[in-house]
Structure 1
Amino acid sequence: MYLFIFAVLAIIFQYSNSKNIIDKYEKDINTFKEKISKLEDDKKALNDKIYDLSYFTVDGNEEALTYFEDKGLDTEELLPKLKDGLLEMNVYDGVDHPIISYASMTDSKIMIDQIKILNHKWILANFTDGKHWGELFINYDVSDEGEITYKLSDYFLYPIN
């Protein structure tokens, strides 16, 4: 009789313990499914944002890339060369930057920071002297020999608040 009662108690304990473990696993699985679903939604939203941000770039502009290819230019070499040409302008003597129409209003030089090549003719660039900053709209032209000329079209200096 004692053996029967002990066996029933052991079976009840095993059943209860197994049920608790299974319930915990089901809860964990549902939590992870919700997290995966949320992460997939976030991934989709980020992919949409990447697509929107890449719209105004030379990499996302097939016509601009075709323009360079038709001229016989390699875009993988040309695009870094365009950026390097602007960044090399940061090395200058005196107070006047070669392309930026503003002089530094601090002790440091005014320099181009960020560069975004929009297409086969236009570049957006950001400049700063550490305290003041603004943006440039630059036209550029690449000759058949691969020489690059830059022409400042418009610029803006943000006011300090």
Structure 2
Amino acid sequence: MKHKIYFYLLIFVSLIALYQFVSTNNMVKAKNSQIVAQSEKLQKLEDSIQKLHLKVLDNQYFSLENNDDALAYYDHLQLNDPTLYVSDKLLETNESKGDNPLIPYEGMESDFKINKIKVLNHKWILADFSDGKYWGELLVKYELKDNLGVDFSLIDHLLYTRSH
């Protein structure tokens, strides 16, 4: 009788061990598949980050901040941020009553004002303007003088025919 109890106990323990082995094996497989899926997601994110980084570098190519040759023109002025200074001076032209004097169009919904500015180098600016419904772009030539005055002159312009 004692022998049968040990035998049944051995079978019971073996079944528990088999259950634990199968259960653990299934859990390991599930976790491994999750790790592989997460690794694939991580690789896609890293690829996206790399693409965005390259795009940012491309967008920064035409900018005064990243153009040492253009910045050299302003070394003697000791400006901390020539781009910000020139942008602020251009935005000051918005303060006049009516349309901005650099914009060769009359506002249809309200006055045309400059919204966004991209200082390309030590001579040119690309600017976006709008009256709230209609918009366009300007190519502006500028000269930053030794007395920190800035002269702006319009090179070219366009007005989009559809409102956004």
TM-score (norm 2): 0.89
Offset at 1:75? Answer: 4.2
CA RMSD of aligned residues (A): 1.4
Equivalence map 1:63-78=2 (5 Å): 63-69=69-75, 71-76=76-81, 78=82
Residue 148 of structure 1, aligned match among 140, 150, 163: 150
Structure ID, larger Rg: 2
Residue of structure 2 in register with 1:22 after alignment: 28
Which residues of structure 1 form unaligned runs of 5+? none
Report Cα offsets for 1:47-102 as digits up to 9, x if no partner: 11111111111122121112211x333242x3212111121222222x34221111
Fraction of identical pairs, as percent: 38
Name 2:115's counterpart in structure 1.
113
In 2, Cα distance between equivalents of 1:126 and 1:75:
25
Residue among 89, 93, 104 paired with 2:93:
89
Say if 2:134 is the partner of 1:104.
Answer: no
Q: Could you tell me whether the CA contact under 8 Å between 1:139 and 1:150 is conserved in 2?
A: yes
Q: Which residue of 2 aligns with 1:122?
A: 124
What SS does structure 1 have at the residue aligned with 2:153? strand
Distance 1:58 1:15 in 2: 65
Report the counterpart of residue 131 of structure 1 in structure 2.
133
Q: What TM-score does the superposition give when structure 1 sets the normalisation length?
A: 0.91
Contact preservation (8 Å) 2:130, 2:136: yes
TM-superposed deviation, 1:160: 2.4
Size of the alignment, in residue pairs? 157
Residue 9 of structure 2: which of 3, 7, 12 is its match? 3
